[in-house]
Chains A and B, each alone.
Chain A
């Protein structure tokens, strides 16, 4: 507890006031990295540095960022870069803080990525509710253009770059990169078949790099301070820092920038201040609504939060939106929330997700409200299993994680929910957030 907090890397606005002012950002080294890559580095060399840093995609999949950039198809032009700012996973609120507090670092990351793949246009696709953020980003982009940091012939080179924001219309699915591209093209937000992947066939059918906001916000400092510096943080396979969005039954919910590999226990009990009212921690969702439910036992609490370790407790790190569930929460109530979320957000393109989430939501509603039979729990498990492995994209596949793990790992809660003497009182509780 007495450890000195190291300086922030992504949430630097917490250390530096007014970092959303371009002057302040530049006084703190801002846009030096972009100038460096444009004036001194070959595009491929930029990608090499990012590759060497071991940076992995922070949107949830954890795909190596530099490797993705290297997949860009150089036989087809023009190229595009799209920043995925559709941040919609329940419990995830990290990108928003970056874009609010430290917007220029993110925009510089977009610019460096665009240079690395020689895109002259980059889009920032924001979820529809981020209209205020879009307005402020537009102002920041205008400031950059006024300062000559975006536009034609940057730093006297032949390289030109324009950034544009684009607001979604309120669909979770548009965080899926190909659905995002469809939406950005003005079409119905539904995922495309993959392959081909965006680096070869993306926006308007052209090679496109789609990266998460947090991923891109890492890039300027990696260029500035080097891959080795970045690798000095985190674990070997999951280097660097990560913003953990902590929510649910904790005393101090919020964003915590910590090295990858930090344990659940440290995040929840040291930084998050533990569980309110002295209640006991029951389960953890590490990746928002798309998460399996981790049984919060001692082993789980001591598990490091990185891409490799979290699977050992039967879950994924995903976007690291850690939702804490204490013993006041009924698991059937919880999964009823997740299935309703997915039912509402399923795009409807593929059968198992469209029909399966709809069906699951009926079952969980009955179970959570004490109107179900014992067989309904079995049926719910069957329906969730039927969805598995058959969906067009990850939304449907993730919609069943909480359901299956909930039934497997917290069966007694379901037994209570379908018991004969239910008053349904327990399901009316909401998780305490005091």
Chain B
């Protein structure tokens, strides 16, 4: 139902906006900037700072007739109130006249600014916010020219208050607008900071341990309207006006948050371009204006550092030694050609669409096999009944149902957690189906628990209550299947106009997620929730471009160790299986030819015969396909180290360089899409491009059906978004960047998804009587290759640990934080780790976080002993 429209004028400009719109927002829509500090368009108004004062007149209504009175000239008779009103708390009404530029209004704003400045340190010259500071800008606009406040009366407060090790507070600069406190409470649902004291002593404090314990803390520095909150990353590092901005896409998870990478060329770094900070870039269909702290503070793996590979390495006399590209490429060409079908290319979703396209094509040309390195399956289904074009979490509300199954969503894909939660707050029916409690349960209408190991069966139980053709259910799920809550949830899901399912890999590996995805697909098919906007299946993949890999035909192997062992040659790109699970070591027996292409000399790379140095995503162009099937472009922010032209000694040699053009000797890291193209060129294959990502994408669009018709130009298109951010003012939306370089395009669904699938195999799952089963879980801050280079998050990542049930802990006589020896019986590997105790966990269940060095790719038997 369309909201009733209301007409009014703001500074003489006529506006028509939906009923209930606040005056400050109506003004923004017609380009009238009403200054605010405490108001933020993503949060409810509080009317604290009083900066948005305007004069508001309303038509005078005759009490007897109910009709508006008119002046002699026929115009509406308007009555203005005696006081200025706050535009951020006042909803529009019919015939309203808003005046935002009168002398009275200007005087009011000057009054408020004078008050704010009485205790403000005015240390703009050394403030990190200087140059992008709402208080600074508004003081220039409306502030009094001189201070009437005695300097000696100024309240001096602590300027270096770490709210945690990530966010610093400058108490003098804080103007008590409360945006940060409200963001943490209302949007992040981590109310770990608050106001303490009162009056002029009001101050922000953090009560959590560690301080400011939230994955969202960095966003408060964006919406802080002064320099009170700064990240440990950017504090005292650069001035905003020195920074250049490059549009990018976060590659930590499948959400695909739009980023802006701020870079600066600086003397302190030897004149190099340096990545100074990561900022959110608005995309209201993806991340709105937020990013999580992993995206903001975990970028260092993609920046330049001493550990990056710079030159190709070739094994000589048993040792990896630097080599030229020419030498390395020729060696690989020769060996790949000789093994042909014996080649396996193993690549991960950390790569771009272009990279995966060229790698896949090369492997096919050689007759080899491409394998996606992933702990989750089901992407064949998301390409068919995934999120249809036009799907946006922001549009899900009262008429929608969202089922989140087998996912600890905030840990796996933080922004989806945030947006699903908001959809639930708007009225969407949220069903959380998992083996254990997660943060999303707080917002769920139905929180359903299945026994560990029975995720797919639990979804079939939902199907069972709705479908005439009933899948058989294993014994362990019967109790849940009979519960009235599950039946009610199934009914709500089926009856919702739109419904979406998010499935993750919480406690599951490949086989389990395969069955789960199939069960989810069946639920969507029988309830007819696919193929149109705001319906479909969303995989909460482990990596940024897993969906893109599936769209391009990449699939994981159900028996990767065996496949790898049988291969004659391996081409491993952006994957480090040996670090993840030492069981893969068996595949590296020294008999087969191994090529690794990566940023760093990983554990796997150390075993290779040839190592190719790759460019980071910050150094090149490319595109990712998000889990929501949105193809998005990222742009280079830095220049790859050695890809800079060689040192120019004289004009003559420079000329020679230009003339030799592409024939110049390759040097330094190369793009992941370029290296397979170089190999293809040497192998004499046609149809490979290495010159630019856009050319590869053009090829990809021509050859991959679901990408048909797309181009880099299309991906770069933008349209106006609400709220309007960036532009001339920074006080309204914060320092998040306006999106001028592309909102991306959602892929059409592949054909063939409309027929009912067979019921997945769901064998009964029972926990053992002795020992235990370890289930993998995902932690946002893990010890994976992409995060361990972060210079900021070490304290949050922590040491390897497992989570035990209370019974197990008491049996082992260990308490919270004690050490335990865990033996992975299949892998014949045992490690000593810290134990955390979770009272809600069933006996025999052990939770083991992925990417913490524990060999866990799915549920796996373990034995526990007290350590020491």
Query: Which residues of A pack against B, CB within 8 Å?
Result: 171, 173, 188-190, 193, 343-352, 354-359, 362, 379, 382, 386, 389-392
With A348-B176, A386-B114: A354-B82 Cβ-Cβ less than 8 Å: no
**Count, chain B residues at interface, CB 8 A:** 36
- Determine how close the nearest CB of chain A comes to the CB of B501; give it in whole angstroms: 32
CB distance from B489 to the nearest CB of A (A): 26
Q: Evaluate contact between A351 and B50: CB separation under 8 angstroms.
A: yes
Contact check, B50 vs A348: say whether CB atoms are below 8 A apart.
no
Docked complex Cα distance between A171 and B202 (Å): 13
- Can you name 27 A-B pairs with beta carbons within 8 Å? A171-B198, A173-B198, A188-B195, A193-B47, A193-B89, A346-B200, A347-B202, A348-B195, A348-B198, A349-B48, A349-B202, A351-B48, A352-B115, A354-B199, A354-B202, A355-B115, A356-B115, A358-B118, A359-B115, A359-B153, A362-B150, A362-B153, A379-B148, A386-B111, A389-B82, A390-B50, A390-B84
Knowing A358-B118, A359-B153, A390-B84 are in contact, say whether A350-B49 is a contact too (CB < 8 A). Answer: yes
Footprint of A on B, CB under 8 Å?
45-51, 53, 82-84, 89, 108, 111-112, 114-116, 118-119, 148-150, 153, 155, 175-176, 178, 194-195, 197-202
Q: A356-B115, A359-B115, A386-B111 are in contact. Are A392 and B47 (CB under 8 A)?
A: yes
The closest CB in chain A to the CB of B178 belongs to A349
Bound-complex Cα distance A390 to B50 (A):
7
Residues of B within 8 A of A392 (CB): 47-48, 50
Inter-chain contact B47/A348, CB cutoff 8 Å? no
B-side contacts of A391, CB under 8 Å? 50
Residues of chain B with a CB closer than 8 A to A355's CB: 115-116, 118-119, 200
Chain A residues with CB under 8 Å of B108's CB are 390
C-alpha gap A343/B119 in the complex (Å) = 14
* CB–CB A346/B199 < 8 A: yes
Across the interface, B198 reaches (CB within 8 A) one of A346, A352, A386, namely A346
Taking A349-B48, A390-B84 as given, write out 5 further A-B residue pairs in contact, using a Cβ cutoff of 8 Å, ordered by the A residue number.
A171-B198, A348-B202, A357-B199, A358-B199, A386-B114
User: Assuming A188-B194, A350-B48, is B82 touching A386 (CB within 8 A)?
Assistant: no
Q: Is the CB of A389 within 8 A of B84?
A: yes
Chain B residues with CB below 8 A from A347, complex form: 198-199, 202
State how many angstroms separate the Cβ of A357 from the closest Cβ of chain B.
Answer: 7
Query: Cβ of B199 and Cβ of A348 under 8 Å apart?
Result: yes
B50 touches A350 (CB 8 A): yes
Question: Does A354 contact B200, Cβ atoms closer than 8 Å?
Answer: yes
User: Residue of B at shortest CB range from A173?
Assistant: B198
- Cβ–Cβ contact B111 & A352, under 8 A: yes
Bound form: Cα–Cα A350–B111 in Å: 13
Nearest 4 pairs of A and B residues by beta carbon: A348-B202, A355-B115, A346-B199, A386-B111
Assess the A351–B119 pair: CB atoms within 8 A: no
CB distance from B791 to the nearest CB of A (A): 36
Residue contact A348 to B115, C-beta cutoff 8 Å: no
Specify which of A173, A193, A382, A389 is in contact with B46 (CB 8 Å cutoff): A193
By beta carbon, the residue of chain A nearest B108 is A390
User: Which chain B positions have C-beta within 8 A of A350?
Assistant: 47-50
**Docked-complex contact A345 and B199, CB < 8 angstroms:** yes
- Tell me the nearest residue of chain B to A189, going by C-beta: B198
CA distance A193 to B91 in the complex (A): 13
Most buried by B among A189, A355, A358, A390: A355
Q: Which of B116, B149, B198 contacts A351 (CB 8 A)?
A: B116
Contacts of B112 in A (CB 8 A): 351-352, 390
Contacts of B199 in A (CB 8 A): 343-348, 354, 357-358
| CB-based nearest A residue for B148 | A379
Q: SS class of chain B's interface: helix, strand, loop or mixed?
A: loop
A343 partner residues in chain B, CB cutoff 8 A: 199-200
Q: Could you say which residues of chain B place their CB within 8 Å of the CB of A357?
A: 199-200
CB-nearest residue of chain B to A343: B199
- Shortest C-beta distance, B194 to chain A (Å), equals 7
Does A358 lie within 8 Å of B200, measured CB to CB? yes
Task: Kindly list chain B residues whose C-beta atoms are within 8 Å of the C-beta of A344.
Answer: 199
Contact indicator A352/B176 (Cβ below 8 Å) = no
- Give the shortest distance, in Å, between A205 (CB) and chain B (any CB): 13
Interface centre among A345, A348, A357, A391 (most CB of B within 10 A): A348
Most B CB contacts (10 A, CB to CB) among A347, A356, A358 go to: A358
B residues near A382, Cβ cutoff 8 Å: 148
Known: A346-B199, A347-B199, A348-B202. A354 touches B50 (CB 8 A): no
Q: In the complex, which residue of chain A has the Cβ closest to the Cβ of B176?
A: A348
The complex places the Cα of A395 from the Cα of B51 at a distance, in Å, of: 18
Closest B residue, CB atoms, query A391: B50
Chain A hits for B89, CB < 8 A? 193
B48 touches A390 (CB 8 A): no
In the assembled complex, the Cα of A379 lies from the Cα of B46 at a distance in Å of 30
| Distance (whole angstroms) from the CB of B155 to the closest CB of chain A | 8
- B46's nearest neighbour on chain A, judged by CB, is A193
| Docked complex Cα distance between A190 and B50 (Å) | 15
Q: Pick the most buried of B114, B178, B197, B199: most chain A CB atoms within 10 A of its CB.
A: B199
> From residue A26, how far is it (CB to closest CB) to chain B in Å?
43
Q: Which of A173, A346, A356, A389 contacts B83 (CB 8 A)?
A: A389
Docked pose: A392 CA to B45 CA in angstroms: 12
Chain B residue nearest in CB terms to A397:
B83
| CB of B364 to closest CB in A, whole Å | 61
A354–B111 contact, CB under 8 A? no
Bound-complex Cα distance A386 to B144 (A): 13
Q: Quote the shortest CB–CB distance from B199 to chain A (angstroms).
A: 4
Residue with the greatest number of chain B CB neighbours at <10 A, chosen from A171, A351, A354 = A351
Q: Which of B83, B108, B118, B178 has the most CB atoms of chain A within a 10 A radius of its CB? A: B118
Residue from the set B50, B115, B175 with the largest chain A CB neighbour count within 10 Å: B115
Interface centre among B47, B50, B89 (most CB of A within 10 A): B50
Report the minimum CB–CB distance from A185 to chain B (whole Å).
13
Please name all residues of chain B whose beta carbon is closer than 8 Å to the beta carbon of A171 when the two chains form the complex: 198
A392 vs B118: C-alpha distance in the bound complex, in angstroms?
19
Give the CA-CA distance A193 to B200 in the complex, in Å.
20
CB of A32 to closest CB in B, whole Å: 43
CA distance A311 to B849 in the complex (A): 71
Q: Kindly state the separation between the CA atoms of A345 and B50 in the bound complex, as whole angstroms.
A: 19
A392 to B86, CA, bound (A): 10
Q: Nearest-CB distance from A186 to chain B (Å)?
A: 12
Q: How far is the CA of A358 from the CA of B197 in the complex (A)?
A: 15
What is the CB-to-nearest-CB distance from B153 to chain A, in angstroms, rounded to a whole number? Answer: 4
What's the minimum C-beta distance from B146 to chain A, rounded to whole angstroms?
13
Instruction: Determine the residue in chain B with the shortest Cβ distance to A192.
Output: B46
- State the CA gap A428–B50 with chains docked (Å): 38
Q: How far is the CB of A288 from chain B (nearest CB, A)?
A: 19
Q: Is there contact, CB below 8 Å, between B49 and A351? A: yes
Instruction: Report how far A346 CA is from B112 CA in the complex, Å.
Output: 16
Taken together as a complex, chains A and B put the C-alpha atoms of A348 and B805 apart, in Å, by 46
What's the minimum C-beta distance from B84 to chain A, rounded to whole angstroms? 7
For A358, give the chain B residue with the smallest CB separation: B200
Which residues of the other chain, A, contact B202 by a CB distance below 8 angstroms? 347-349, 354
Q: How far is the CA of A389 from the CA of B82 in the complex (A)?
A: 9
Shortest beta-carbon distance from B323 to chain A in Å: 65
Expressed in whole angstroms, the Cα–Cα distance for A239 and B219 within the complex equals: 56
Query: Please, how many angstroms separate the alpha-carbon atoms of A358 and B198 in the complex?
Result: 12
A110, chain B: closest CB distance, angstroms = 28
Contacts of A354 in B (CB 8 A): 115, 176, 199-200, 202
Residues in B whose Cβ lies below 8 Å from that of A389: 82-84
Query: In the complex, what residues of A have CB within 8 A of residue B153's CB?
Result: 359, 362
The chain A residue sitting closest to B53, CB to CB, is: A390
Closest to A349 in B: B48
For residue B150, which residues in chain A have a CB less than 8 angstroms away from its CB?
Answer: 362
Minimum Cβ distance to chain B for residue A345 (Å): 7
Bound-complex Cα distance A392 to B177 (A):
13
| Cα distance A173–B114 in the bound complex, in angstroms | 24
Residues from chain B with Cβ under 8 Å of A349 in the complex: 48, 176, 178, 202
Contact in complex: B49, A359 (CB < 8 Å): no
Between B53, B149, B150, B198, the greatest number of chain A beta carbons within 10 A of the residue's beta carbon is seen for B198
Closest to A345 in B: B199
> What are the residues of chain A within 8 A of B111 when measuring CB–CB?
352, 386, 390
